[in-house]
Amino acid sequence: MSALTIENLDICYGESKVTHDINLSVAEGESFALVGESGSGKTTVLRAIAGIATSWTGSITAFGQARSPGIDRGFARQCQMVFQDPYGSLHPRKTVDATLSEPLAIHGIADNGERVDEVMQSVGLDRRFRFRFPHQLSGGQRQRVAIARALILRPKLLLLDEPTSALDVSVQAEILNLLKRLRREQGLTYLMVTHNLAVVSFLCDRLAVMRHGRIVEVASADQLKRGALEDPYSRELIQFSPSHPA
C-alpha cells in the first residue's frame, strides 16, 4: 500500500501560489527526499501534509485516508513532523517530560509515564534528562527530544524538515544513524526535506528535485550515487554539493 499519495497539490500563501501541481507517491516503509533550493516550495509541501499550511487544493492521502485542510487528529496520529531547528522547536519553559507528554494529553491517551520512558530510550536519551529544560541540553540531545515527540504517538509516517542542518557534522552523523535505526526497527516511512544530497544518499531510497514550486525530476538514490540525474537543474545541484568529489 502507498503510505502517502499527493495529487495535483497547489498550495497558496495568501494571494501567491507556492507550489504547482505536485504529484507524489511514497510507498510504505520507503524513505523519500525532497531536494531543491530555498524558496522552491519543498518545506511548504511538508507543511500542507502536516496541516500547518491550510490553503491548498488537490488531494493528500496517507494510508488510504484522505486529509482535509486544517486540524485532523486522526491524521496526526499517523503522521508527525520533525522541524529543522531544535533550538526553536522546543518550548523553552517546558521540561522534556512535559514536551513528550503533551501529544498524549491532546490525543487523550492515558498513560502513567511508561510511554515517555520507552520513547526516550528508543531515541537514545538517558533517563536523567527527563526533567531537564531545553537549555540544559546540547543541540543533538534537543533534536533527539524533537524526534521523540514526533514518535510518541507511534505514527507510521514521519515528515522530516532538514532534521540535521542545524547540527555539527559529528552530531549530524549520530542523528542520521538514529533515524536509520528507527526506520528499520519501527517500519517507519520518511518524507524528508533537505538540501544536502549526501544525506539523501545515506538515508533515502528515492528523491524528487523541486524548483520554483514544481517537481522537475524523480529519481532513485542509486541514480544520485552514480551522478545519473537527467534534469539540467538536478545536475547543477550535484555540482554545487560540497561533498561532490571535485
Partner 1 sequence: MSALLEIENLRVTFPTARGPVDVVKGLSLTLGRERLGIVGESGSGKSMTGRSILRLIRAPGKVTADKLRFDGIDLLAQSDRQMRAIRGARISMVMQDPKYSLNPVMTIGAQIAEALLTHQKLGRTDIRGRTLAMLEAVRINDPARVLGLYPHEVSGGMGQRIMIAMMLIPEPDLLIADEPTSALDVSVQAQVLEIIDDLVKRKGMGLILVSHDLDLVSGYCDRILVMRAGEVVEECIASELRNAKHPYTRGLLAAIPRLDEDREELPVLQRDEAST
Selected from 20, 94, 124, 231, the binder of partner 1 by CB under 8 A is 124
Give the x-and-dash track for 39-58 against partner 1 (CB under 8 A). x-------------------
Q: Is 246 in the site for partner 1 (CB under 8 A)?
A: yes
Selected from 1, 93, 108, 170, the binder of partner 1 by CB under 8 A is 170
d(CA 79, CA 107): 13
Per-residue DSSP letters for 88-138?
TSS-TTS-HHHHHHHHHHHTT----SHHHHHHHHHTT--GGGTT--GGGS-
Q: Is 101 in the site for partner 1 (CB under 8 A)?
A: no
Q: Is 171 in the site for partner 1 (CB under 8 A)?
A: yes
Positive or negative: CA dihedral 142, 140, 130, 93: negative
Q: Is 169 in the site for partner 1 (CB under 8 A)?
A: yes
Closest to partner 1 by CB, 65 or 239: 239
Q: How far is the CB of 240 from partner 1 (least distance, A)?
A: 5
Q: How far is the CB of 54 from partner 1 (least distance, A)?
A: 23
Selected from 104, 109, 198, 219, the binder of partner 1 by CB under 8 A is 198
> 164 phi and psi, to 5 degrees?
-125, 5
Place of cell 531543491: 36
Q: Is 117 in the site for partner 1 (CB under 8 A)?
A: no
Residues 56-75 that bind partner 1 (CB under 8 A): none
> 49 phi and psi, to 5 degrees?
-65, -40
d(CA 20, CA 112): 46
Q: Is 202 in the site for partner 1 (CB under 8 A)?
A: yes
Residues 220-239 that bind partner 1 (CB under 8 A): 224-227, 236-238
Amino acid at 66: A
Which part of the chain contacts partner 1 (CB under 8 A), choosing from 21-29, 64-72, 119-127, 148-156?
A: 119-127
Q: How far is the CB of 125 from partner 1 (least distance, A)?
A: 6
∠29-142-111 over CA atoms, to 5°?
A: 70
Strands laid side by side in the 16-27 sheet: 16-27, 2-13, 56-62, 65-66
d(CA 114, CA 102): 14
Amino acid at 121: Q
Give the x-and-dash track for 129-148 against partner 1 (CB under 8 A). x--------xxxx-------
Cβ-Cβ contacts under 8 Å for 222 (sequence gap 6 or more) = none
Residues lying near partner 1 in the complex (CB under 8 A) = 37-39, 124-126, 129, 138-141, 168-174, 176-177, 180, 195-199, 201-202, 224-227, 236-238, 240-246
